[in-house]
Structure 1
Amino acid sequence: MEPGGNASVAIRVAYATREEQVIIELSVPDGTTIQDAIRRSGILSRYPDIDLRRQGVGVFGQARALDYCPRTGDRIEIYRRLALDPKEARRKRKNKSFR
């Protein structure tokens, strides 16, 4: 428990770039949202290009809203935006194979 009798939850915040994967462990007060947990983790200052309004987030591969409250043991994941639309990538590969 945190000072004052408030329960806390132990979580991890995960983010990966092409070069590295980062997992930050922290405890937050029970009732903290994903958005607040990400801010408390400090990952936004380490990776200023993260834009939570445009990037997806989830817990163990399941998409979640920023106002979701994680539980003890949850791994909050910040998803990178795709560099290329999957349909467009398939189309380009298909066109390449015909040349």
Structure 2
Amino acid sequence: MAAAPLRIEVVCAQPGRAWRLPVEVPPGATVADALAAADLPAKVPGLVVDPECLAVFGRTVTPAEALRDGDRVEVLRPLLIDPMQARRRRARDA
């Protein structure tokens, strides 16, 4: 009996719009496999997926990370400013 495919959700949020793409991948699939199945660059204008900006349920992962059924792969936006620098700037300006 063949193993059931994994049901994975791939999400990407940009200013003003978000994409939620359910995909099915074979058991043993990785984050990279789920991203390939979702084909985000064809659906999200101008998106370039940075391998350093990936997460599963908010936990940073690599493209080689194995997935489990029900996982949500998140394509994150890169930080524009270091959070610590932003905090120091706000404290200085207050």
TM range (shorter): 0.7 to 0.9
Question: What's the TM-score, normalizing by structure 1?
Answer: 0.79
> Matches of 1:52 and 1:40 in 2, distance apart?
17
Which aligned pairs between 1:1-99 and structure 2 lie closer than 5 A?
A: 5=2, 7-47=4-44, 48-53=46-51, 55-97=52-94
Paired-residue identity, %: 29
> Matches of 1:71 and 1:52 in 2, distance apart?
22
How far did residue 26 of structure 1 move? 1.0
* Higher radius of gyration, 1 or 2: 1
> Matches of 1:38 and 1:71 in 2, distance apart?
14
Q: Is contact 1:38–1:44 with CA below 8 Å preserved after alignment?
A: no
Q: CA RMSD in A?
A: 1.9
> Matches of 1:94 and 1:62 in 2, distance apart?
29
The AA in structure 2 aligned to 1:94 is: A
> Matches of 1:77 and 1:51 in 2, distance apart?
10
Would you identify which runs of 4 or more consecutive aligned residues in structure 1 move more than 4 Å?
Answer: none
Q: How many residues end up aligned between the 2 structures?
A: 93
Deviates more, 1:44-53 or 1:7-16: 44-53
Question: What's the TM-score, normalizing by structure 2?
Answer: 0.82
Mind listing any 5+ residue stretches in structure 2 that lack a counterpart? none
